[in-house]
Structure 1
């Protein structure tokens, strides 16, 4: 019997499986290189740059660095690539947008071995020579290695951490130091020239000597100008790179802090303390660096001063030492005052932040006067402490001033006295040279002494920044852990949880199981633990006891980024970013298309009002969502949660801000929204949970009952009471119970 042809469109069993797109292969190659070093990444976490056709080495490096690896993109020539014989897998970028993994190289034979990124680690590599590779390779590579420690992500931010950041720029520092040493040597020549002009040119009226000295001055001035420009340029590049690196690291550290920390802190204090790190940065790249560079002048010039006059040199050093002693004496009192000033400034900054953030409430309740009064009080407190710091610093400066004046003016009088009395061997020219060099020696000594004074403010600023940035982070949980396929089955076994500082448990021995694809409602009185369950599911709080499993895997073993990306969460009060409607819906997945955005908006019931907007999906949403209603904002948040098609959705009072029409629209879509996914819905409105597969009734942190709506009405007193309270409007005018109440009481005959 002859076999019939397969129907049109049917897959041919003998045909090879379709190969992914080149860009997907490039992502798999980068992920395989990271996996070799024990860093497991998910290619779905990669966010492409706008307008980028294929992921660039720089974009891949940023992605892997965020995931806990150390990656760097660079361009190599064949002669260097073929010598990398003892390296881990190197990602080679191909012209079609894909990539390959180079796993070995042999310079003598002139070949490298490539492995398919989609194959397993044991697949046989293919030998490729320069000619064949040059036809597909762009010359770009991605180097990946294990981060020595999550060190850098979680290391305490202190002076040692900042010093390591600065020492990373060793090459720039070396060039700056070299330029400073040469400039220090050149600094000796102008005083020597002045000495020669006074002693030889003026005294002997020698024009030839003047011409020679003029030529020397011109040459030395040219090199000094050139080196000074080069040093300033290098210092500028160094400070810019340090500023960028510190800014990136501080912001990443801030994002890695757990949500619980932000819930316990004032936003204004957090911003003020984090901003203090820039005072430390300015100190290290400004005064500290300049003083350090000036010390080279001191090392080079000070011996020459002793050569000119040991007596005057010792006087200069003694005066500078006295200045340092005064600074050390005043360091403690000034430091205490600076600490109080910093706290007063942060309190004032908090008032400013709260005023701007709550300006709508302030305007609607006419709270301008109390806010102004509070601002005046905080400003006055800050001004008083600033005045106290200024006065104490003024006293210290006044005590120091006689020693500075002696260095600048007294030395020349002492020198003149030594010349007149024959107490020294120096002449008039040597005295002028000493005065020129003496100022350059005294400046770094005075700067070094005053540097100790600045350390007070820097130490205080660093301590304030450390109160925020040195808190325990989620870095390890965000970059490590399992990445299972999420289906949505939930299991709570003896789960107990207590909020920090609370006397009673928020969850008390919670036990229940729901299979994947279940629509679960959570109900109960306020404070019963409903929202706490959703917090545990999102990994916001992990300090619970018992076992909370997702698809049979303990939630604490799952990579936190993977977990949260697998969830869709809609809260009671959702924040929309300043940007277009489309940007807000695709906030978690910026690479998705407009069709995906429309699909999510339709599911959330947002399509109809978006299409009525002036620019549709490109309509701009202002800061604070002032140009849309609360119901519209809520539906956009639901669309944002649906855009990535999560396997598990959490709606925590998501319809509480909706008007009846919008709520009815969202509730009507819940069945479509919940199709193929697990949904956990927290709501005080029991009418929105009637269609749930299971409803969990909670009271004082415990599970009272778990059953569908009809069953709970019959057997759960708490649920029946809540239902009757919310449905009294259905009672007949005569006082007879309505259908729902009668059903609850068993008064309707079937």
Structure 2
């Protein structure tokens, strides 16, 4: 934490979770967590000579054997001393000088280097061909070793052909048994070297492709998570998933055909001069045939690009139907919509089949036209070579022809693969552009990792706030102004579309494209670090999603570093402990996907417990009880008085009866503030509020209720 504060990062240790099986956090685990929090961190192992030379660096974290750590703030190579500071000590405390002998008794050799992330990083770079190339070039060391092995293997590939020439021209013609034994021994030795080098190259290639695959996968998922919520609300889930998955076609191309073709080209560079040495005539014929294959592929490349684009679009549309059907399977079953969904799936599948068949038929033409050239390279060269030998037009002998045939096949294959590689580029380019439509959307990365991290108390102030949703012509919020002090229980009411939920979205930082002043504890909301803001707020929605896992895992989803005592406290406060304790597994009870094994009221109380686990100073309940039965709603509302103690509550509800205990009730209509005040005052002076109340409580007497602050004061 101290090293992060040196770089302006204020971290909460409750956000940190150890890896399973770790008694003390490792440098790798700490580096991963710090990177997620907006820093650049790296764990490594150093020796004393290397450590003491780091005297002009920011604070370095040294890991000790007993699980503790210290900050190295200064080093003096001349005196052989480093100065250490206790991370938990006050800033005024002086660091302690330590020499190599004393440090070696405590230090494991592990260090953690921390610095602030740059504004423009690889994580924010646009996903395009240049980005993919940079991703590959980050493995320069592995690429160098693979290329070196490829060059050596290419040289070794020449020797078997030369040895075959010697067998035919010398051993067979002159019946030389000694020469045969010598050539056999040499061939065995070369085969052994080739086997070992081939194994090493395959191992290096596997490590390279695995690293590239991991980096691309992590980047794609991290970029997806950093996209703002309104993007997912605008786009179809199936389309988003399909486009993101398209980047894995690019990954397969980079780590498969492209890499193998690139390595084969080194064989071409080495073998081609040998072919011209054996027979220039046959070498030119081989190159001409391979060039014709490439020309055929180039002719068909543009129409193939268009058809592959249609195929990808049709497949994404079909995937959207699959995703939507799985997500809405409960509705499909209850309304017996299987036939309608099956018909739509059939239509989408027919489109995929239509375009894939058209693409396959078009791709069949270059394969058909190039087949005679392929056959000529495999068989025709031998006939031409035999004719040259018989007519005496070339100095080529029988052994030379056999050697040329062995090497010529290894030349034609890379040239043909290079031509076909251009065909794959069409599909890869289409896939990359589809993935870029999602991954290159503006992200929240900067807002999530930068900004102020003030202590949140909960005082809210809206000053002339206007907000319009993208593509809309009517303002969702129109000159909204109000203020409430910290600790206020604020209800928000109004007709549908009046802007109630928009206010809560702005408070969560979901949308920041508003005008006017929106302040939290006097700080402009746009200046606050977005991660800090959202973790300082507890949010409960009308339909809350619970992850597949235990009750404990779901309650601590936002704060994995918290203890069982924290879980039990949040569950008690939310009124969830009474039903959790009746379950067979208690807090370890498994929640199935879709929360099918618990009731709606239980799900809402678990969502409230999850929001309360971090003890937020600001709680937002957006229609949190509208989908509950009366008994569950009464239970949740009864707990709100306990939950509201010491925190600001913003409660959006259509049911005014659940808001009568609020300190202030904000009445909205058509995006504007109509009035704000306690329940009794609004009944007297606000016609809109009185009308809404009478609609919902025709048979109930109009009684002024005690404000929540007074009720909570009496409760104390």
Residue in structure 1 matching 2:419, options 425, 437, 449: 449
1:227-246 equivalence runs, <5 A: 227-246=197-216
Distance 1:612 1:42 in 2: 34
Aligned to 2:121: 151
- Say yes or no: does 1:112 pair with 2:85: no
Does the residue aligned with 1:696 lie in a helix, a strand or coil?
strand
Quote the Cα distance in structure 1 between the aligned partners of 2:545 and 2:149.
52
Matching residue within 661, 668, 690 for 1:698 = 668
1:747 aligns with none
Task: Report the counterpart of residue 658 of structure 1 in structure 2.
Answer: 628
How far apart are residue 31 of structure 1 and its match?
A: 2.1
Confirm or deny: 8 A CA contact 1:486 1:551 kept in the other structure: yes
| 1:84 aligned residue | 54
Q: Partners in 1 of 2:627 and 2:562 — Cα distance?
A: 28
CA distance in 2, matches of 1:602, 1:529: 33
Rate the CA distance shift 1:120–1:294 in 2: closer, same or farther, 3 A.
farther
Pick 1 or 2: higher relative contact order, CA cutoff 8 A, min separation 6: 2
Which residue is 2:256 aligned to?
286
Paired residue secondary structure (2:358): helix
Contact 1:194–1:432 (CA under 8 A) maintained in structure 2: yes
Equivalence for 1:594? 564
* 1:363 pairs with 2:333: yes
CA distance in 1, matches of 2:2, 2:521: 29
Residue 488 of structure 1 corresponds to which residue in structure 2? 458
Residue range with higher mean Cα deviation, 350-359 or 528-537: 350-359
1:25 aligned residue: none
* Separation in 2, partners of 1:333, 1:617: 59
CA distance in 2, matches of 1:345, 1:209: 62
Deviations 1:549-599 (A, max 9, x none): 000000000000000000000000000000111111111112222222222
Out of 364, 383, 389, the position equivalent to 1:394 is: 364
Q: 2-side partners of 1:51 and 1:674: how far apart?
A: 38
The superposition leaves residues 689-716 of structure 1 with CA deviations (integer Å, 9 ceiling, x where unpaired) of: 0000000000000000000000000000
Q: Any idea what the Cα deviations from partners look like across 1:49-80, whole Å, max 9, x if unmatched?
A: 34433322111100121223221111112122
**1:31 corresponds to 2:4:** yes
Alignment check: 8 A CA contact 2:385 2:401 kept: yes
Match of 1:384 in 2: 354
Once residues 429 and 120 of structure 1 are traced to their aligned partners in structure 2, the CA distance between those partners, rounded to angstroms, is 85
Return closer, same or farther for 1:474/1:627 CA change in 2, 3 Å cut-off.
same
Residue number in structure 1 paired with 2:481: 511
Matched, 1:423 2:393: yes
Bigger CA drift: 92-101 or 463-472? 92-101
Distance in 1 of aligned mates of 2:501 and 2:41: 39
The 3 A distance-change label for structure 1 pair 284 and 194 is: same
Q: Verify: 1:544 aligned to 2:514, yes or no.
A: yes
Structure 1 residues 659 and 590: CA distance shift in structure 2, 3 A = same
1:319 corresponding residue in structure 2: 289
Q: Decide which moves more: 482-491 or 96-105.
A: 96-105
Contact between 1:29 and 1:91, CA under 8 Å: does it hold in 2? no
The 2-side partners of 1:280 and 1:356 are apart by 27
1:662-741 equivalence runs, <5 A: 662-730=632-700, 738-740=701-703
Q: Please give the alpha-carbon distance, in whole angstroms, between the structure 2 residues aligned to 1:444 and 1:39.
A: 52
* Residues 104-136 of structure 1: CA deviation (Å, up to 9, x unaligned): 222332111223334576764322101111222
Q: Deviations over 1:649-708 (max 9, x none)?
A: 000000112211111111111111000000000000000000000000000000000000
Give the match's secondary structure for 1:347.
helix
Secondary structure of the residue aligned to 2:66 is coil
What are structure 2's unaligned runs of at least 5 residues? 706-716
3-state SS in 2 of match to 1:706: strand
The equivalent of 2:109 in structure 1 is 139
Q: Summarize the alignment of residues 134-213 of structure 1 with structure 2, pairs less than 5 Å apart.
A: 134-213=104-183
Displacement, 1:532? 0.0
**Distance verdict in 2 for CA 1:76–1:140, change over 3 Å:** same
**Uncovered stretches (5+) of structure 1, i.e. residues with no partner:** 1-27, 731-737, 743-750
> SS at 2:455's partner residue?
coil
> Which string of whole-angstrom CA distances, capped at 9 and with x for unpartnered residues, describes residues 339-382 of structure 1?
00000011111111111111111111111101111111111110
Equivalent residue, structure 1, for 2:584: 614
Aligned to 1:266: 236
Q: Deviations over 1:583-632 (max 9, x none)?
A: 11111112222222222122212222212222121111100011111111
Q: CA deviation at 1:149?
A: 4.5
Note if 1:339 corresponds to 2:309. Answer: yes
**Cα contact 2:665–2:679 (8 A) shared by 1:** yes
Deviation at 1:215, TM superposition (A): 0.1
Q: Whole-Å Cα distance in 2 between the matches of residues 262 and 378 of structure 1?
A: 23
Counterpart Cα distance in 1 of 2:3 and 2:266:
47
SS at match of 1:488: coil
Cα distance 1:741–1:487, how it changes in 2: closer, same or farther (>3 A)? Answer: closer
SS at match of 1:188: helix
Aligned partners of 2:238 and 2:319 also within 8 Å = yes
Q: In the alignment, is residue 45 of structure 1 matched against residue 18 of structure 2?
A: no
The residue number in structure 2 matching 1:330 is 300
Question: Which position in structure 2 is the counterpart of 1:472?
Answer: 442
Q: 1:456 and 1:149 mapped to 2: Cα distance?
A: 34
Please give the TM-score of this superposition, normalised by the length of structure 2.
0.96
More moved, 355-364 vs 39-48: 39-48
Q: Is the 8 A contact 1:61 1:72 kept in 2?
A: yes
3-state secondary structure, aligned to 2:300: helix
* Cross-structure match for 2:31: 61
Whether 2:610 is the aligned partner of 1:640: answer: yes
In the other structure, the counterpart of 2:709 is: none
Note closer, same or farther for the CA distance 1:332–1:607 as it changes in structure 2 (3 Å cut): same
Aligned to 1:406: 376
Question: Take 2:197 and 2:547, find their aligned partners in 1: how far apart are those partners?
Answer: 48
Aligned equivalents of 1:233, 1:198: Cα separation in 2 = 36
Matching residue of 2:713: none
Cα shift at 1:739:
4.5
Distance 1:328 1:523 in 2: 65
What corresponds to 1:18 in structure 2? none
2:403 to 429, 433, 442: 433
Q: Offset of 1:250 from its aligned partner?
A: 0.8
Q: CA deviation at 1:498?
A: 0.1
- TM-score (ref. length: structure 1): 0.92
The CA RMSD over aligned residues, in Å, is 1.5
| 2:15 and 2:560 in contact (8 A); partners too | no
Asked whether the equivalents of residues 40 and 480 of structure 1 are also in contact (C-alpha less than 8 Å), the reply is no
Distance apart, 1:43 and its partner CA: 3.5
Supply the distance in 1 between the matched residues of 2:483 and 2:267 (Cα, whole angstroms). 75
For residues 233-270 of structure 1, give each alpha carbon's deviation from its aligned partner in whole angstroms, at most 9, with x where no partner exists: 11111111111111111111000000010000000011
**Deviation string for 1:22-64 (max 9, x for gaps)?**
xxxxxx24424xx33x555444433333443332211110012
Asked if structure 2 preserves the Cα contact closer than 8 Å seen for 1:260 and 1:541, the reply is: yes
Q: Tell me if structure 1 keeps the 8 A contact 2:119–2:446.
A: no
- 1:394-441 deviations in Å (ceiling 9; x for gaps): 011111112211211111111111111111011011001001100101
